[in-house]
Amino acid sequence: MTDPVVGLVLEGRYRLEERLARGGMSTVYAATDLRLHKTVAVKVMAEHLAHDPTFVDRFTREARAAAMLSHPNVVGVSDQGSDQGLVFLVMELVRGRTLRDLLSARGRLTVAEAFAVLEPVLAGLTAAHRAGIVHRDIKPENVLIGVDGVVKVADFGLARAVVGTGQTSQTGGVLIGTVAYLSPEQLERGRADARSDIYAAGIVLFEMLTGHPPFGGDTPLAVAYQHVHHDVPAPSTEVPGLPWQVDELVARTTRRDPAGRPIDAGGFLAEMNDLRKDLGIDPVPVPTGHSSAGPDTLRPTNRPTRPRPSDRHPSDPGTAVVGGRSARGGRTSMLPGMGAGPTTDVHGRRPQPARPRPGVPDHIRRRRARLVVAVIALMAITVGAVGWWLGMGRWTDVPALAGKQQDAAIDLLQGAGLDPDPVVAEWSETVPEDEVISTDPSSGEVIRGTDVRVVVSKGPERYEVAPDLVGKPVEEVEAALENLPVQVTRAEDYDDDLPPGAVIRFDPAAGTPLKRDQVVTVVVSQGRAPVAVPDVTGQQPDQATANLQALGFTVERIEDGRSDTVDKGEVMAVDPAPSAGPVRFGSVVRIQVSAGIPLVTVPDVRGKTGDEATQILEAAGLRVEATRFFGNSVLRQSPAGGETVERGTPVTILLSFG
């Protein structure tokens, strides 16, 4: 019957051309990208799941997880959307087959071929693990082998980004995945990390070497029980002749305790490459459907076999020389008359085969009865689980997380089947750092798998001024402070060490936690503080000059003067005067040295009366010594009038009759 979806054009761009594969959750089509004119693969979610938020979320998550990766061994996802009631994502189209198809056709692979397939798988997983993504569903169906031999990992629908504790949670509260490849921790706790992918890859390696998974059973529960309680057997028990080192590699990667496995796919890949070198295994092309086994290797097959006569030609592709005799690997099935006993009796005749009794044998009846009981039990469990899920099982309560540490809160959310996505950090003056401030939704019942927005405190919002800004030019400092949400003001102060314009300090001090919009004062240097001019009058010029220069002044000596109080040769005056107060550091100070007492011109007082002459001479700063001779008129004087003498010089006058 024609697929009604074929021929549709999604979002006006992707025309579905051909159905390639169908699964329980989705169908893959080859499509044409009408915009870029290239062929792509479009995965369309099954119609009955398109209305379930849990599965739509898983489908969207596949697009996000794969889009985060860009690696040649990971199937690229380029677009995702919904149109005409169809939820879809657009992927790279890989022409070829899956590893499941190859194993179905070939049975099993040689060690070299298994390594050739697994190496690119681990390379793609390494890129995912280093990006914080866990695949959670590694199996042969999700390993694509192109016709050109390129191996790619597909289907990140179960992948989750690592958050919180580094483990992934259940998908919507229901364990989804192929039970034959699930790790014990996924089966027991529903959580997975990179080491869970290592376990699944180890199971795939076992299957490539033996032709079948290590555990089987009538029900998924039986298989899960064996994963949890039994170690994976050595592949050599199924295929005699495999190197014991290969057994050890499988054992290390499939340990039930995750701590015993390689930490991620990169560790697994490194161990496998070391083993390849130790065993001297040359690289071979990735098998794409034709065996590359030579005449001295085990031919991959999972068909029941039996021992062959030792005279079989060694080139028989169904046999290999093991321990000096021909044997066929795999499980041995012994049929009546085909190696189960002697082919002739003692008389050389073939024995008559035993005739079965009429009717169905008892052991077959018992087996059928057990199968019917198992099917009924499985149906009852399935119906009950579906009913529980559709009723109350798909709902869960949002735990109260306010005030809890981030890691503890994420554990509680994942334990309730919810996803902490996204986790947002915000400042808080009241909630300590790394504690939850709020969640959205904050409480109530929601569907399992719902994303819960978690707001975590970064603590009080504080900023700091870098201490190394001290001493730098104020323009550079203010430009740097523009990046901080604080208010900047400027002040000035004197500093003996920093030049003018350099930042002396901050108020509050640099390194102090600052709140948003807090005022920060930048104190800028005005240079050295003003200096008081000392009183150096009465000092010798050299001594006065040295004293002033020690304080940073520049000293200039001006023309000598005369002073009544300062002796000749001593400083008589300073400019600026000490009484004028402090002056700028480095200012010029002028000094004047005394040349002696001031000079005056002697007045001519001849003919004056004695009293008049005395008054005139004293007014000129001279002392009077009078000699009277029968009269009161100045007859002579010495020094004579008009002479220049020092102030205070005595002038002798002779009084007589005029």
Q: Residue 33 — pLDDT band, cuts 50, 70, 90?
A: very high
Which residue do the tokens 């579905």 mark?
A: 16
At 374, the amino acid letter reads: A
Please say whether the beta carbons of 108 and 282 come within 8 A.
no
Q: How do 487-493 and 519-525 pair as beta strands?
A: parallel
Q: Would the pLDDT of 514 be above 90?
A: yes
Which residue(s) pair with 492 in the sheet?
524
Please say whether the beta carbons of 237 and 289 come within 8 A.
no
pLDDT cut 90: percent of the chain above it? 50
Q: Would the pLDDT of 417 be above 70?
A: yes
Q: Count of CB atoms within 10 A of residue 281's CB?
A: 16
- What is the rounded CA–CA span in Å between residue 604 and residue 589? 42
Q: Closest Cα to residue 265, out of 200, 330, 182? A: 200
For residues 445-460, give the mean pLDDT: 89
Do residues 108 and 232 both lie within one domain?
A: yes
Q: Residue 162 — pLDDT band, cuts 50, 70, 90?
A: very low
Q: Count of CB atoms within 10 A of residue 475's CB?
A: 10
- What is the rounded CA–CA span in Å between residue 566 and residue 118? 109
pLDDT cut 70: percent of the chain above it? 82
pLDDT at 392: 55
Do residues 51 and 86 both lie within one domain?
A: yes
Sign for the CA dihedral angle at 556, 561, 565, 567 comes to positive
Which residue(s) pair with 587 in the sheet?
none
Read off the CATH number of the domain in which 514 is found: 3.30.10.20
Q: What are phi and psi of 213, to 5 degrees?
A: -65, 160
Q: Closest Cα to residue 303, out of 11, 108, 494? A: 108
pLDDT at 657: 75
Please say whether the beta carbons of 130 and 112 come within 8 A.
no
Please say whether the beta carbons of 506 and 521 come within 8 A.
yes
- What is the rounded CA–CA span in Å between residue 390 and residue 406? 32
Two tokens, residue 70:
């860009």
pLDDT at 381: 80
Two tokens, residue 393:
């099982």
pLDDT at 603: 94
What's the mean per-residue pLDDT of the chain?
82
Q: Would the pLDDT of 415 be above 70?
A: yes
For residue 387, is it within any domain? no
What secondary structure letter does DSSP report for 389? I
- What is the rounded CA–CA span in Å between residue 26 and residue 536? 104
Read off the CATH number of the domain in which 43 is found: 3.30.200.20
User: How far lies 331's CA from each of 161, 235, 301, in Å?
Assistant: 41, 12, 10
User: Which run of H or of E encompasses 521?
Assistant: strand 519-525
For residue 624, is it within any domain? yes
**Which of 218-222, 282-286, 333-337, 526-530 has the least mean pLDDT?**
333-337
- What is the rounded CA–CA span in Å between residue 400 and residue 398? 7
The set of residues, in sequence order, having a beta carbon less than 8 Å from that of 418 and lying 6+ positions away, is: 169, 396, 398, 446, 448, 449, 450, 451, 452
Do residues 78 and 111 both lie within one domain?
A: no
Q: Residue 345 — pLDDT band, cuts 50, 70, 90?
A: very low
Do residues 125 and 225 both lie within one domain?
A: yes
Q: Closest Cα to residue 36, out of 14, 10, 8, 6? A: 14
For residue 429, is it within any domain? yes
Do residues 58 and 203 both lie within one domain?
A: no
Tell me the pLDDT tens digit for each residue of 2-13. Answer: 788 899 999 999
Do residues 570 and 431 both lie within one domain?
A: no
For residue 141, is it within any domain? yes
- What is the rounded CA–CA span in Å between residue 62 and residue 308? 50
Q: What are phi and psi of 370, to 5 degrees?
A: -65, -40
By annotation, the residues acting in catalysis are 137
For residues 300-318, give the mean pLDDT: 34
> Is residue 544 helix, strand or coil?
helix
Q: Residue 358 — pLDDT band, cuts 50, 70, 90?
A: very low
Question: Nearest 10 degrees: CA dihedral of 598, 599, 603, 609?
Answer: 40
Helix axes 194-210, 99-106, angle to 10 degrees: 20
Cα angle 78-81-84, degrees, rounded to a multiple of 5? 135
Please say whether the beta carbons of 465 and 449 come within 8 A.
no
User: Which run of H or of E encompasses 475?
Assistant: helix 474-481
Q: Would the pLDDT of 371 be above 60?
A: yes
Q: How do 650-656 and 623-628 pair as beta strands?
A: parallel
Please say whether the beta carbons of 470 and 510 come within 8 A.
yes
Range of the domain at 545: 541-593
Split into its structural domains, the chain has a count of 6
> Is residue 382 helix, strand or coil?
helix
- DSSP per-residue string spanning 608-621: SBHHHHHHHHHHTT
Do residues 234 and 192 both lie within one domain?
A: yes
- What is the rounded CA–CA span in Å between residue 418 and residue 136? 17
pLDDT at 342: 34
**In the listed set 279, 302, 319, which residue is the last one of a domain according to the structure?**
279
315 vs 252 pLDDT, higher one: 252
User: Which run of H or of E encompasses 378?
Assistant: helix 362-388
pLDDT at 198: 96
What secondary structure letter does DSSP report for 312? S
Q: Would the pLDDT of 443 be above 50?
A: yes
At 398, the amino acid letter reads: V
For residues 205-229, give the mean pLDDT: 93
Q: Residue 362 — pLDDT band, cuts 50, 70, 90?
A: low
Q: Closest Cα to residue 417, out of 176, 653, 93? A: 176
Tell me the pLDDT tens digit for each residue of 549-566. Answer: 999 899 999 988 888 888
pLDDT at 238: 92
Tell me the pLDDT tens digit for each residue of 570-588. Answer: 999 999 999 888 988 888 9
Please say whether the beta carbons of 168 and 443 come within 8 A.
no
User: How far lies 422's CA from each of 274, 411, 418, 450, 453, in Å?
Assistant: 40, 15, 12, 11, 5
Do residues 240 and 164 both lie within one domain?
A: yes
Do residues 136 and 238 both lie within one domain?
A: yes
Tell me the pLDDT tens digit for each residue of 79-113. Answer: 888 899 898 989 999 988 999 999 999 999 999 99
SS (H, E, C) 123-177: HHHHHHHHCCEECCCCCHHHEEEECCCCEEECCCCCCEECECCCEECCECCECCC
For residue 269, is it within any domain? yes
**In the listed set 436, 457, 478, which residue is the last one of a domain according to the structure?**
457
pLDDT at 433: 92
For residue 181, is it within any domain? yes
CA 54 to chain centre: 29
pLDDT at 51: 77
For residues 260-264, give the mean pLDDT: 94
pLDDT at 1: 55
For residue 38, is it within any domain? yes
What secondary structure letter does DSSP report for 77? E
Q: Residue 312 — pLDDT band, cuts 50, 70, 90?
A: very low
Which residue do the tokens 């170690």 mark?
A: 231
Do residues 172 and 273 both lie within one domain?
A: yes
pLDDT at 385: 65
pLDDT at 3: 83
Do residues 575 and 619 both lie within one domain?
A: no
Q: Closest Cα to residue 534, out of 513, 555, 518? A: 555
**In the listed set 76, 91, 106, which residue is the last one of a domain according to the structure?**
91
User: Which run of H or of E encompasses 322?
Assistant: strand 320-322
Q: Count of CB atoms within 10 A of residue 210's CB?
A: 28
526 vs 61 pLDDT, higher one: 526
Do residues 136 and 66 both lie within one domain?
A: no
For residue 622, is it within any domain? yes
